[in-house]
Amino acid sequence: MVSNGSTAFPSLFDILLPFLSSTSPFEIIFLNETVSELKEQIDKSVEAGFMKENPVAEYKNGDFSKENYSSFDLHRPFVDNIFLVSESGKKMFREPDLIDGWFDSGSMPYAQHHYPFSMKDPAFKNYYPADFIAEGVDQTRGWFL
C-alpha cells in the first residue's frame, strides 16, 4: 500500500504487467517494473506506428495521488489496446491465452513429468493424483491480501 496523507491505496508499482508477444512464438516480453517503464515502451510503439497515442502519457512518476492513477487501468480491456515493439521491430500484443494459477496447480501431476510431450510411459497413472502439492508463503500472502 502507498499512503498519500490520510488516504491509502494499492501501489501500481507492485503490479505485474501482462505478458506481450508478437506473431513469432519466440518473441515474448514480460514487464515487471513500474508504470514509468510501460510508458516508455508505449512511446516506442507510438514512434513505430503501432499505436496512435500513449494512453498513460499523463502519468507522472513519483506522484502517488489518486488522480495520477485514475486515467488508466492495467486490466482488460485497457491492456488489450496496448501494443509494444519487439527487439526485431515487430508488433507485440497482450497474450490472450493465459490461465490462472489454480489451473496450473491442478495440472502439476502432468507438468512435473512434461506429460504428454516427453513422457509416454503408461505407468504415468501411478503419478496421478498427486500425493502432495506445496505452495510457498509468498504465494498465499501475495494472492490473498
Q: What is the DSSP string of the chain?
A: -EEETTEEE--GGGSPPPEEE-SSTT-EEE--S-HHHHHHHHHHHHHHTS-SS-TTTT--TT--SHHHHTT--SSTTGGGG--EE-TTS-EEEE-S----HHHHHHTHHHHTTTTTTT---GGGGGG-S-S-----HHHHHHH--
pLDDT in tens for each of the 145 residues of the chain?
Answer: 333 343 444 443 334 444 455 555 555 454 445 788 889 999 999 999 999 999 999 888 777 788 887 878 877 788 889 999 988 999 998 877 766 666 766 777 777 777 777 767 777 777 777 777 677 776 666 665 5
pTM to 2 decimals? 0.51
